[in-house]
Amino acid sequence: MYHLRRLLVATDCTERAQRAEVRAAQLCQQHGIADAELLTVREGAEPDILAMITNTDVDMAREQAATQASLELERRAGMLKDDYGVEFSWHVRFGKTATEIAQRADEIDADLLVIGAHGGNFFSDLLLGNTADRLAHLCRRPLLVVKNGPRQAYQRVLIPVDFSEESHRASQVALALVPDAEITFLHAFEVMFEGKMQYASVPRDVIDHYRMKAREEARTDLDRFIHAVNPENRQAGSAIVFGMPGPAVRDYSKSIQSDLIVLGKHGKSRFEDMILGSVTRDTLEQTECDVLVVPSGDRGLGIS
């Protein structure tokens, strides 16, 4: 079972970044978490630039920049405590954003890392650049990308699955993280060699027969999967759709107006990481709701 005990929020201290901070505070409140931290990463070259502008030495400039950032984090932590009764500590680092965030998550053994997306084109307008994309590859901990201003706890959660161990792990995390949400498991299937059959002018009824058979097999596999990941028999919906995973997730999420999508991230090889990465990028870029990416392996997952 997944246990959410320690949470890290990476923020760039902008107004839009408050979405992630507020969602994190809500999760802390819902799960009774008392160990949470706000982290901001300043560019490594900032002290050098500041020192040149103010005609001071680099160490003093670094201290000034850290102090300024700490004061802002303290202010934000105070607002979160006032609004949600949650205590946040804070930390400032200098360097490459994604690398420093991932390292800090390892240092404090975070069970969940939360960052904010700014909207628009996800990868051109993301918190501190394409930080989420890099973090999804660097970080071995669940990564929650918050796109929307949270008004309530997550209500409708979509879990795309491919029956892999990664999907199993992501489902465990989702069921524990959002115990009161409406859960839907989604599997997208395709018919092997359908394109070649169409090219060879195989009759439509023959192709439909293979598609129906593939759907039935997918339904059986999905029912078995849900039973395995949901031992408490929590009520959950399921859907089988024909098509490629990326577009299927996007379209089905829109149809049910999900407010969270939970994806399992592969990574046993460069090829697998690239394939899942394309689905993850499509989901992050083309869907409007928040996205939780759960990595492979059990490091930082708090699963027992």
Residue ranges, comma separated, of all CATH 3.40.50.620 domains in the chain are: 1-151, 152-304
Q: What superfamily does domain 1-151 belong to in CATH?
A: HUPs (3.40.50.620)
Picking from 90-99, 143-152, 154-163, 195-204, which range would have the lowest pLDDT averaged per residue? 195-204
Is the per-residue pLDDT at 41 higher than 50? yes
CA 173 vs CA 74, 113, 299: distances in Å: 30, 13, 13
- Buried b / exposed e over 12-32, threshold 16 CB at 10 Å, is bbeebbbbbbbbbbbbbebbe
Q: What's the sign of the alpha-carbon dihedral 28, 78, 108, 137?
A: positive
Cβ(238)–Cβ(223) below 8 Å: yes
Once rounded to an integer, what is the mean pLDDT over residues 215-226? 93
Beta-carbon contacts of 291 under 8 Å, excluding residues fewer than 6 positions away, are 144, 145, 147, 260, 261, 262, 263, 280, 283, 284
40 DSSP assignment:
E
Cβ(218)–Cβ(242) below 8 Å: no
**pLDDT class of 26 with cuts at 50, 70, 90:** very high
Cβ(232)–Cβ(262) below 8 Å: no
Distance CA 211, CA 168 (A): 25
**pLDDT class of 295 with cuts at 50, 70, 90:** confident
Cβ(113)–Cβ(105) below 8 Å: yes
Query: What pLDDT is stored for residue 214 in this prediction?
Result: 83
CA 83 vs CA 8, 77, 191: distances in Å: 18, 10, 51
The proportion of the chain whose per-residue pLDDT surpasses 90, expressed as a percent, equals 49
How many angstroms separate the first and last alpha carbons of the chain? 5
Distance CA 97, CA 73 (A): 17
- What amino acid is encoded at 39 in this protein? L
Tokens of 134: 């890099």
pLDDT digits (tens, 9 = 90+) for 256-271: 999 999 999 875 444 3
Strand partners, 88: 36
Distance CA 293, CA 85 (A): 27
Q: What superfamily does domain 152-304 belong to in CATH?
A: HUPs (3.40.50.620)
Is the per-residue pLDDT at 177 higher than 80? yes
β-pair type (143-146, 156-160):
unpaired
Cβ(243)–Cβ(158) below 8 Å: no
Distance CA 120, CA 118 (A): 7
**pLDDT class of 119 with cuts at 50, 70, 90:** very low
**pLDDT class of 274 with cuts at 50, 70, 90:** very low
Tell me which H or E stretch contains 220.
Answer: helix 204-229
Mean pLDDT, rounded, of the chain: 82
Picking from 25-34, 132-141, 172-181, 246-255, which range would have the lowest pLDDT averaged per residue? 132-141
Distance CA 237, CA 221 (A): 14
